[in-house]
Structure 1
Amino acid sequence: MKDIPVHQLLERTSSGLDISYFAFGDQPKEKEPLGAHRDDHYLFFLVEKGNASLMIDFHEVKFCENSLYYILPGQVHHRIRNEVAGGWFAAIDTQHIPPGYRAIFENQLLLQQPYQLSNYEMKQYRQVLSLLHEKHAEDAQSPFYIPILQSLIQSFTGMVAANFSKTRNPEKQLSRPGQISLMFKKLLLEQIRITKSPSAYAALLNVSESYLNEVLKKTTGFPVSYWITQEVMLEAKRLLFYSDLNVKEIAHTLGYDDHTYFSRLFKKSAAITPLEFRDKSRK
């Protein structure tokens, strides 16, 4: 594997939706090399019974009964175990999710955590997902098939956004610093392989470098350079663990012409060399 696989929703469905119910005790249907991949779409999980675990960007996320979770496009993940869980799975194209909902899902620099639902909320989710599942299974040529799906998808994702918005400070979400932080994160994810300069990100956001630093320190506790390094190192670790690229190739993929400089940067951040990380993490 020369790079981390990217699963495209269009290869599975033309509707922009793939939804299924996994019964308690079901085994995964597909096996992948090292079990790791990215998706070009959102994933939503609703665990009704049992327990499950996913590895998401080197963090194990555990799910218990009545838990709700989503994975953003581009996050590297793989199953750890789901043979003792039952619930719902939905893969949804970004185009079906309104920008306001996406802002809730993406408005953080750290890994999102599962949301614990009440029994009443679980009942509502089951009803919406069951209806969405039934409509998705109908003839795609039936009248208003796509508009009806879109309406149900927006109802579901709106409910998810409403739940996850409760875990954030509403005033902070609407503040100018919060908006700048969100835009910076989006740019960082898009540009990390080609842009490493804090001043370049500030220019793309039409603010001064000092102001961008001030904003990020206020909203996250860390300056621009910290988050750039964090994202570079995370992407490097993904490629070291999940791909067969050598260190020189990884350095070039991440925009470093000098692979020895990249190796020094990696060791300074991770306290071990890239090859040591690959050997240690794959054991």
Structure 2
Amino acid sequence: MRDIPVHQLRERASTGLEIRRFVAGDIPDDDADTLGAHRDDHYIFFVIEEGTASLMIDFQELRFGASSLYYILPGQVHHRIRNEVGYGWFIAIDALLIAPDYRNVFESQLVLQQPFALDAIKMRQCTDLLCLMREKYQEDNPGPFYLQVVHSLVQSFVGIAACCFSGFDNLQFALSRPVQLAQEFKKLLINNIRQVKSPSAYASMLNVSETYLNEALKKVTGLSVSYWIQQEVLLEAKRLLYYSEMNVKEIAHALGYTDHTYFSRLFKKVEGTTPLLFRTHYRK
């Protein structure tokens, strides 16, 4: 059976961001790759200004109307299921650019996240910010601090979104045990990744067997416990490379690796570039 494809943001954007606006009259892209079920390795946010749209997300159908905000988590399987068109904004953001406090809001929902209805003030704030973000993002001749400014605007938008979804719950959608376990695992992973990298250790903290935890993660995300541990390690490494002045050896030690050359090889194997080149690219 063909595996569910994973769309990688770095194949389409080199700045950790992709932003597009769709207005009435635009022709939707109906190719199979867009409509087919897939996962993303990044966050996707939608701000719907008008029209309607329907998505199937992890086997739940969700409908979006005007003045709504929604996000899709990395790893969630989704696809469009009707030909309705919701006009507004599409924003794809590298998880690197999502602060841990915001990630806790987005990833700790005890039910499948639901669209958030934006009032007139929040809608204006989102659209004004996204217009500025897109304008800056599309500059023909980016000057000094281009990426820093773009990423600051991204942080502002994500912060508004996190405020909207903080404490927002809908008990209509009860979660299965594997989904609950996957979410509990994600919380532990975020808080313990620098010290704990063993699948069996996380299984022990969750009071389940390593086999059951692995089965649950594969059922919910399609990927193993080891994969998510590795991704969280690399995400934390990228944050330290981007935000801190620590050298590669210091970052490796901070993440629990005594052999910094092993850490560098792991980073290059997964990311396709060295830690230093990653830092240079994102800070240019």
Q: Which has the larger radius of gyration?
A: 1
Aligned position for 2:120: 119
Instruction: Report the 3-state secondary structure (helix = DSSP H, G, I; strand = E; otherwise coil) of the residue aligned with 1:81.
Output: coil
Instruction: Summarize the alignment of residues 133-148 of structure 1 with structure 2, pairs less than 5 Å apart.
Output: 133-139=134-140, 141-148=142-149
CA distance in 2, matches of 1:69, 1:182: 19
| Matched-pair contact (CA < 8 Å) for 1:54–1:61 | yes
| Matched-pair contact (CA < 8 Å) for 2:6–2:39 | yes
| Matched-pair contact (CA < 8 Å) for 2:108–2:187 | no
Aligned position for 1:9: 9
Q: Using CA pairs under 8 Å that are at least 6 residues apart, name the structure with larger relative contact order, 1 or 2.
A: 1
Aligned position for 2:91: 90
Deviations, residues 162-191 of structure 1 (Å, cap 9, x unaligned): 0000415xxxxxxxxxxx985524579xxx
Residue 35 of structure 1 aligns with an amino acid whose one-letter code is G
How big is the shift at 1:50?
Answer: 1.3
| Matched-pair contact (CA < 8 Å) for 1:48–1:66 | yes
How big is the shift at 1:74?
Answer: 0.7
Aligned position for 1:204: 202
Unaligned ranges ≥5, structure 1 = 169-179, 189-199, 214-224, 240-283
TM-score normalised according to structure 1 size: 0.63
Change (3 A) 1:235 1:144: closer
Instruction: Report the 3-state secondary structure (helix = DSSP H, G, I; strand = E; otherwise coil) of the residue aligned with 1:89.
Output: strand
Residue 18 of structure 1 aligns with an amino acid whose one-letter code is E
Aligned residues: 203
| Matched-pair contact (CA < 8 Å) for 2:17–2:92 | yes
Change (3 A) 1:19 1:124: same
| Matched-pair contact (CA < 8 Å) for 1:109–1:185 | no
Residue 23 of structure 1 aligns with an amino acid whose one-letter code is V
Unaligned ranges ≥5, structure 2 = 170-180, 190-197, 224-284
Percent of aligned pairs sharing the same letter: 52
Change (3 A) 1:78 1:203: same
Matched, 1:67 2:48: no
Q: For the aligned residues, what is the CA RMSD?
A: 3.2
Change (3 A) 1:58 1:83: same
Instruction: Summarize the alignment of residues 17-166 of structure 1 with structure 2, pairs less than 5 Å apart.
Output: 17-32=17-32, 35-81=36-82, 83-139=84-140, 141-166=142-167
Residue 90 of structure 2 aligns with an amino acid whose one-letter code is F
CA distance in 1, matches of 2:89, 2:29: 15
Change (3 A) 1:39 1:181: closer
How big is the shift at 1:108?
Answer: 2.4
TM-score normalised according to structure 2 size: 0.62
Deviations, residues 59-96 of structure 1 (Å, cap 9, x unaligned): 11100111100000011111123543211110001111
Change (3 A) 1:47 1:235: same
Change (3 A) 1:68 1:82: farther
Deviations, residues 136-165 of structure 1 (Å, cap 9, x unaligned): 001364211100011000000000000000
Change (3 A) 1:162 1:82: farther
CA distance in 1, matches of 2:182, 2:219: 20
